[in-house]
Structure 1
Amino acid sequence: MTPLSDEALPARQREVQRLLGRCLLRLQQYERLIKAIVAHHELTGPPHALETIRAARIADSARKTLGTLIGDLLGSYLAPNEIGDTPKDLPDCPAEPVMVSFRIGLSLSDADFARLKNELRELVALRNDLVHHFIDRHDLWSVDGCLRASDALVAAYSRIDQYFEQLRGWAEHMEQTRRLAAEFAQSDAFRDLIVNGIAPDSTVFWPVAGIVSALREAAGELAVDGWASIAEAGRWIAERFPEQLPAKYGCSSWRQVVHESRIFDLRYFEINGQRSARYREKEGTANTG
């Protein structure tokens, strides 16, 4: 055993304090970064409420412990096999015609997910040991005890740093994905999705389609006894919204748009000896777009 020295012991104790502080600072960096990932990797809600929902997620993450944050991360940002297309807790908002949802995550094999789950639990145990039990496990009133404590802290920091670099890699992946999403948000495809209700695979979500909104406006201006001429509406829209054409929505005529949308009633009238196709909005659909 190393002889106790009044001069050597304080220096060793200060070294233990320095090494412990280094570990705790790295753990705090880890916690700050994991809070950011948990708060920002997914978002779901109506467009007008997204910023409020995001702020609530940030505030909620800020209050959580490391163990809880890791539990949130597992199965959401980190998930076994394929990540589902729909968030687990998609809110039921029947009054909202449009909901926006995105999730960024890493899909892992079952074996990798199980291994990572165990490793992250070990990190939580290591953190708790350093914060709550370190002084009980080491004799900090002897030089030998301080030396062993220093060795343990060097090993602990190396492990924590590995976890931090791993987490930083995930954060960089998330940020890169968010940049790509932001680029998509500036694209014509995104505008078609949000403004016109046309998905990248050309599927049309008719209740929010731009051409349906245009038909509503035309009907409001042109309807007689509640019914508007489809031909007149087509000309009216072409003058005011030239980008809203049937072909954009995979249709060959305005009558096909009216039929495919399922938003309007279609009826034929005899007017001045000629057959005229007219439309009106179905009851109960006025607030779906």
Structure 2
Amino acid sequence: MTAMSDTPLQSLQDDVQRLLGRCLLRLQHYERALKAIVAHYAVSGPTETLMADRDARIADTARKTLGLLVGELFGSGIVTNATESPPEPIPASTGSTLSIRMGIALNLTDTEFAQLTSDLKDLVVLRNTLVHHFIEQHDLGTLDGCHDARNALVEAQTRIDHHLRQLNEWGNDLGRLQQQTAEHLRSEEFRNFFVNGNHPDGTVYWPFTEIVSALKKAAGELAVDGWVSVEEAAAWISEHYPDQLPGAYGCRSWRQVLHESRIFEIRYFETEGLRSAWYREKRGH
């Protein structure tokens, strides 16, 4: 921008510079807040690597442009009634590894979704214009050009401030939901699910239960030719894991636990005329 001796023109140029700087600072604040939301609205992966995965997601998000951030948010963090919502946060198991999938989404009507999509695409265009093309579009060497530039920047600041307020509302909602999630994770209900695999609806996620783990450990200690007596395993578990009882999982007996879990095979052998139940872990478990 060329320095001019005309005081009114220079005053206008200074005003344009001030407004442009303010818009760019607000856009940077918007991008920073959006990166925080994109990095934290969803969590997934094996529990062993959950923190490392989160840090990697934060680092990856930090490198993304506003356009990429907006594109990632739509269809996952922001959805419409016509879009398939993210799956419910249920655990998945691969062998003995537990994975957690949990996400928060803003669900809009089709009309709201279309409007927000258009608004945010316009914001991305506005950002790119201010950063790369603003001086090309306005003749800042004339009074009329500076007036037009100032009016454009006042309008741009109004639009950016609207999006900032909207984003702050989303961030506040996300913070509240994260707080509620943290309280749930500390609840006895979640502990019963996480430690014992008992769902609130009364069903049991058997691969994740302590009682199945205890049965596997008993088999490791007591198995003969790959099979272990159910009676001996029950006695061993009673000594080493006294809180792990069939009744805690809605079962009447150890044989019912073995049957319901679908993780073990059960066979009956006769020894000295006495028939007894034995079990072993199925292949693939």
Normalising by structure 1, report the TM-score: 0.88
CA distance in 2, matches of 1:67, 1:226: 58
Stretch deviating more after TM superposition (32-41 or 236-245): 236-245
User: Which residue of 2 is the match for residue 252 of structure 1?
Assistant: 252
Structure-2 residue corresponding to 1:196: 196
- Closer, same or farther in 2 for the Cα pair 1:170/1:280, shift >3 Å? same
| Structure 1 residues not aligned, in runs of 5+ | none
Q: Which residue of 2 aligns with 1:67?
A: 67
Could you tell me which residue of structure 2 aligns to residue 16 of structure 1? Answer: 16
**Contact kept in structure 2, 1:46 and 1:96, CA below 8 Å:** no
Which residue in 1 is equivalent to 2:86?
84
Percent identity over the alignment is: 54
Letter in 1 for 2:210: G
Distance (whole Å) between structure 2 residues aligned to residue 224 and residue 141 of structure 1? 93
The alpha-carbon deviation at position 237 of structure 1 amounts to: 1.7
Equivalent positions of 1:1-289 (< 5 A) are 6-81=6-81, 83-85=85-87, 97-285=97-285
Structure 1 residues 119 and 262: CA distance shift in structure 2, 3 A: same
Q: Deviations over 1:71-102 (max 9, x none)?
A: 11111100111513169xxxx99567422111
For 1:76 and 1:84, the matched residues in 2 are separated by 7
Cα distance in 2, alignment partners of residues 94 and 235 from structure 1: 29
Shift, 1:194, TM fit:
2.5
**C-alpha contact 2:77 2:106 (8 A) present in aligned 1:** yes
Unpaired segments of 5 or more residues in structure 2? Answer: none
On the 8 A contact 1:41/1:105 being kept in 2, the answer is yes
Q: Distance in 1 between matches of 2:194 and 2:133?
A: 54
| 8 Å CA contact retained: 1:42, 1:104 | yes
Q: Is the 8 A contact 2:93 2:207 kept in 1?
A: no
Greater shift in the superposed pair: 108-117 or 193-202: 193-202
AA aligned opposite 1:252: R
Counterpart amino acid of 1:251?
C
Q: Which range moved further: 182-191 or 92-101?
A: 92-101
The alignment partner of 1:64 has SS state of coil
Contact 2:76 2:86 in 1 (8 A): no
Alpha-carbon contact 2:258-2:264 (below 8 Å) kept? yes
Equivalent residues of 2:86, 2:105 under 8 A apart: no
* 1:105/1:174 contact within 8 Å kept: no
Quick one: distance in 1 between partners of 2:124 and 2:66?
A: 7
Distance in 2 between the 1:193 and 1:263 partners? 19
- Give the 3 Å change call, closer, same or farther, for CA 93–213 of structure 1 in structure 2: closer
AA aligned to 1:68 is: L
Residue identity in the other structure for 1:167 = L
Determine the C-alpha separation between the residues in 2 that align with 1:209 and 1:271: 31
What CA distance in whole angstroms lies between the structure 2 residues aligned with 1:76 and 1:192?
A: 30
Aligned residue type for 1:63: R
Aligned residues: 278
Distance 1:93 1:131 in 2: 47
Question: How many Å apart are 1:195 and its aligned residue?
Answer: 2.3
Shift of residue 33, structure 1, vs aligned partner: 0.9
